[in-house]
Amino acid sequence: MAYTLLNGKDLALRMKKAMSAQVEELKNKGAIPGLAVIIVGNDPASRIYVNSKKRDCEEVGIRSFEYALPEDVQEEQLLELIDTLNNDDNVDGILVQLPIPDHLDEGKVLRRIRPDKDVDAFHPYNVGELMIGNHAFAPCTPAGIMELLKDAKIDVEGKNCVVVGRSNIVGKPMSMLMLHANATVTICHSRTKNLKDVCKTADILIAAIGKPNYITRDFVKEGAVVIDVGINRTADGGMTGDVDFTEVSKIASAITPVPGGVGPMTRAMLLKNTIKACIMHKRGKLS
Ligand code: GUN
């Protein structure tokens, strides 16, 4: 069966083009969107992500401000930086790159970000707003997946959607967005019994597990839409998803590649959330 390749790289490029024009328009009205990115320590993967986010900002004309703090930074110092950024009118969005070192209380740090600048949508206020469907921001990865499905005209309403993974960043918010789009949602995780059988009921299967090539052909119903959130590094320095693409693409009706699927969409949604925050902050002040 021929499958549709859900090309996130291509859609992200199209979105960035549109966002560049939107930022230009905002600048003409006297508003420049700004994103502050805080990175703590020297995690190489986090460094790559932060560099990509800064590059993306540059590409569309968003101002980015990086704050690199040492691995052993005191929690109070990090919280003070967040307070400063909360009060800085040049900053519309604040992002603390995760994970942060163990001696820092992640919950406390995320709660310190002003909810209207929380472009990751990890603050409990935004988590709650998402739950009741009244959200200004949705977390970037699930929001990017919804855009990808919409762009491919894949109807979600009434479909069985199985989400594998229950993280606060992907699994839980993904399930909420799917529910708001009228899918019938099942959330699976490491303790789920008969995972294979549950996955086989999915019209739309979303894998956010963190285990390379875990979802093989026998997890997937013929004709299902398969979304791979996994970013697993391979020994040769490459990247592979949670889905065995070669096998699963033989029976899926649509599937995301890794790389080039969900990853670029996550990055594009961060830009979108930052522009949205800017418009919210400058509303009434635009010339
Ligand atoms: N680490 C891995 N993914 C993310 C993300 O979406 N946002 C932040 N802040 N950190 C991450």
∠ CA 177-180-181 to the nearest 5 degrees? 90
In DSSP terms, 95 is beta-bridged to 37
pLDDT of residue 71: 98
Pocket of ligand 1 (CB under 6 A): 95-98, 120, 140, 169
Task: State the distance from the centre of ligand 1 to the C-alpha of 108, rounded, in angstroms.
Answer: 16
pLDDT of residue 1: 74
pLDDT of residue 283: 87
**Pairs from 272-275 (Cβ < 8 Å, separation ≥ 24):** 272/15, 272/19, 272/143, 273/93, 273/119, 273/120, 273/121, 273/137, 273/140, 273/143, 274/33, 274/34, 274/35, 274/57, 274/62, 274/92, 274/93, 274/119, 275/19, 275/22, 275/23, 275/26, 275/33, 275/62
Active site residues: 53, 97, 120
pLDDT of residue 285: 80
Task: State the distance from the centre of ligand 1 to the C-alpha of 58, rounded, in angstroms.
Answer: 19
* Cβ atoms of residues 44 and 15 within 8 Å: no
From 94, 100, 169, 269, mutation site for ligand 1 pocket: most ligand atoms within 8 A of C-beta: 169
Burial of 284 (0-12, 13-18, 19+ CB in 10 A): exposed
Task: State the distance from the centre of ligand 1 to the C-alpha of 98, rounded, in angstroms.
Answer: 5
Residue nearest to atom 9 of ligand 1 (CA): 97
Q: Which is the closest atom of ligand 1 to the Cα of 120?
A: 7
Tell me whether the omega of the peptide bond preceding residue 257 falls within 30 degrees of 0, making it cis: no
Task: State the distance from the centre of ligand 1 to the C-alpha of 211, rounded, in angstroms.
Answer: 18
Task: State the distance from the centre of ligand 1 to the C-alpha of 179, rounded, in angstroms.
Answer: 23
Report the C-alpha gap between 256 and 266 in whole angstroms. 13
Burial of 55 (0-12, 13-18, 19+ CB in 10 A): exposed
pLDDT of residue 26: 97
Report the C-alpha gap between 240 and 164 in whole angstroms. 17
Q: Is the dihedral of CA 201, 206, 209, 212 positive or negative?
A: positive
From 98, 123, 137, 267, mutation site for ligand 1 pocket: most ligand atoms within 8 A of C-beta: 98
pTM of the predicted model as reported, rounded to 2 decimal places: 0.97
Spell out the domains of the chain, with CATH numbers in brackets: 30-114 (3.40.50.10860), 140-262 (3.40.50.720)
Residue nearest to atom 2 of ligand 1 (CA): 98
Tokens describing residue 257: 């590649």
Sequence-ordered alpha helix ranges (H) in 152-254 = 171-180, 195-199, 245-248
Which DSSP string corresponds to 21-58?
HHHHHHHHTT---EEEEEEES--HHHHHHHHHHHHHHH
Q: Which is the closest atom of ligand 1 to the Cα of 95?
A: 9
Q: Per residue of the chain (287 residues), give pLDDT as tens.
A: 799 999 999 999 999 999 999 999 999 999 999 999 999 999 999 999 999 999 999 999 999 999 999 999 999 999 999 999 999 999 999 999 999 999 999 999 999 999 999 999 999 999 999 999 999 999 999 999 999 999 999 999 999 999 999 999 999 999 999 999 999 999 999 999 999 999 999 999 999 999 999 999 999 999 999 999 999 999 998 999 999 999 999 999 999 999 999 999 999 999 999 999 999 999 878 77
Q: Which is the closest atom of ligand 1 to the Cα of 169?
A: 6
H or E element in which residue 76 lies? helix 75-86
Q: Which is the closest atom of ligand 1 to the Cα of 96?
A: 9
pLDDT of residue 110: 98
Report the C-alpha gap between 167 and 134 in whole angstroms. 21
Distance of CA 78 to the CA centre of its chain: 23
pLDDT of residue 284: 77
